[in-house]
Structure 1
Amino acid sequence: MSELKDAWMALESHWKITPKDARITGDASYGFMRWTLAPLFRMLLRVKIRGIGNVPKSGPTILAANHLSHVDPLVVILASRRRTHYLAKDGHFRNFALRSFMRATGQIETNRETGGAEALSSAAVVLHARRALGIFPEGTRSKRTEAPFLLPGKTGFARLAASYPDVPVVPIGLTGTREFMTPSKHKLPRLWKKVGISYGKPVTWWEWLEKNSSASELQALTDKEDHEVKAALSSMYRQFTDEFMDRIKGQGAP
């Protein structure tokens, strides 16, 4: 394994994501809401939580779930019992009330026009701070009207996992959140609807790499042209993503 790690680290210039120069806000208010609202949420709402023991209690963690409704981030945040931060598009920060809530809970503003690299750099801030990062590998909320609702995953979260190879990535299956609050239909949540959240066994990039590559294969890349290395890494990111989406599906994601 050490030889494999050395070979991967030799390619660092090709995969490293540098954290954006930014800080995470809202620690005090987030902590207050987490210790007051989260228990109330779990007590009053019809939420079935399974596999919570698979979520590390501390340290950098990626919580990767399917995306069915606008309430999905809130469900993950309140159920996971971790201070979890999501990237949120800048449109959520224009309204004063919503902006205040987003900043109070430590969510990170991103601008889609600046591209994926900027978003990944912002996400790296969370992991660099040893926090939990919430992410939806599909890249957007599924708008499919019939099952299967799960979309193919984007490879951005695989790049994050590769850049932080020690960080556990937890597959999460969400069920019932669309019925709980259907986008463009329900302005208020329907509290009587059942919601499920299931956490699977986490995997790190190192664990995945050990099963899907070898030190010799990675060492051979050091003599390749940049575009060849990029193509090889892109293929690895796609394979990791596809396999991980199967893990999310295995947690009950419809």
Structure 2
Amino acid sequence: MFYKIARKILSFFLRLFFRIEVNGLDNIPMDDRLIICANHGSNWDPVLISIAFPKQIHWMAKKELFKNKVLSFILLKLGAFPVDRQDSDITAVKNALRVLKANKILGIFPEGTRVDSPDLSNTKAGISLLAIKSKSLILPIYIKRTYKVFNKVNINIGDPIDLSDNFNKKLNNEEYLNISKDILKSIYALGELNP
């Protein structure tokens, strides 16, 4: 209930200030385990994706956001959970797998932080590991925006990425990383749409 109310309020206000255009809604699989992976250049990104998406997204968010008690309360109510970006955060991985095994939607930024331009060296291997261990589809999303008032924001949703060929394989970290890099390439390819 809290999520739905917050989503409606934020949607109303953001659509006053930005011309939000969502492309590819028909690419969203409605009945599969799903990980949303998007580019990340602003703190507004998870909010915009959430108001454009028909189902609740449980975002992995940097642990620093949870230090403020009020913000932490709101984020937890919205279904977000903390992740330590500087360390192998086993608790965050377990939380992510729990979300997926409950057939809920997980939201992740593959680069782990905000970036101004594509850089595959920022890719984290954990994205593909989570998808393969949970047998989930990946949904690539690219947000094209400047976040200047009244400017257009394009949210481009790509075709789901199926990693089922890897579900029964024993992969090493380098192989997971290479798969994650391919996912990131798919995300940035969507940036070429709607110039």
What's the TM-score bracket when you normalise by the shorter of the two chains? Answer: 0.7 to 0.9
CA displacement, residues 32-77 of structure 1 (integer Å, 9 cap, x when unaligned) = 333x236536753311110011112344210000111111111111
TM-score by length of 2: 0.85
Which ranges of structure 2 fall in alignment gaps of 5 or more residues? none
**Following the alignment from structure 1 to structure 2, what is the Cα–Cα distance between the partners of residues 125 and 161?**
12
Give the TM-score normalised by the residue count of structure 1.
Answer: 0.67
CA distance in 1, matches of 2:61, 2:192: 22
Residue identity opposite 1:155 in structure 2: A
Partner of 2:153: 195
Unaligned runs of 5+ in 1: 1-27, 181-189, 219-228
Q: Deviations over 1:110-148 (max 9, x none)?
A: 345662333222211211221111101111111x4xxxx
The one-letter code of the counterpart of 1:248 is: I
Is residue 136 from structure 1 mapped to residue 109 from structure 2 by the alignment?
yes
**Contact 1:150/1:253 (8 A) holds in 2:** no
Partner of 2:144: 175
Whether the 8 Å contact between 1:41 and 1:78 is mirrored in structure 2 is no
How many residue pairs are counted as aligned between the two chains? 190
Q: Is the CA contact (8 Å cut-off) linking 1:49 and 1:198 kept in structure 2?
A: yes
Mapped to 1, the partners of 2:101 and 2:155 lie a distance apart of 26
Which residue pairs with 1:243 in the alignment?
Answer: 182
Which one-letter code corresponds to 1:250 in the other structure? A
What secondary structure, in the 3-state scheme, does the structure 2 residue paired with 1:249 have? Answer: helix
Matches within 5 A, 1:67-86: 67-86=40-59
Q: Which of 150, 169, 173 in structure 1 is aligned with 2:118?
A: 150
1:40 equivalenced with 2:12 (yes/no): yes
Larger Rg: 1
Within 1, Cα distance between the matches of 2:111 and 2:100?
A: 20
Greater fraction strand: 2
The superposition leaves residues 64-121 of structure 1 with CA deviations (integer Å, 9 ceiling, x where unpaired) of: 0011111111111111121001112232122233223212211112345662333222
Cα deviation 1:195-236 (Å, max 9, x = unaligned): 111011002221x539xxxx8xx5xxxxxxxxxx6xx43232
* C-alpha RMSD of the superposition: 2.5
2:166 counterpart (199, 209, 213):
209
Q: 1:40 to 1:67 in 2, by over 3 A?
A: same
Are the aligned partners of 2:82 and 2:92 in contact in 1 as well (CA < 8 Å)? no
1:164 matched to 2:134 = yes
SS at the partner of 1:81? coil
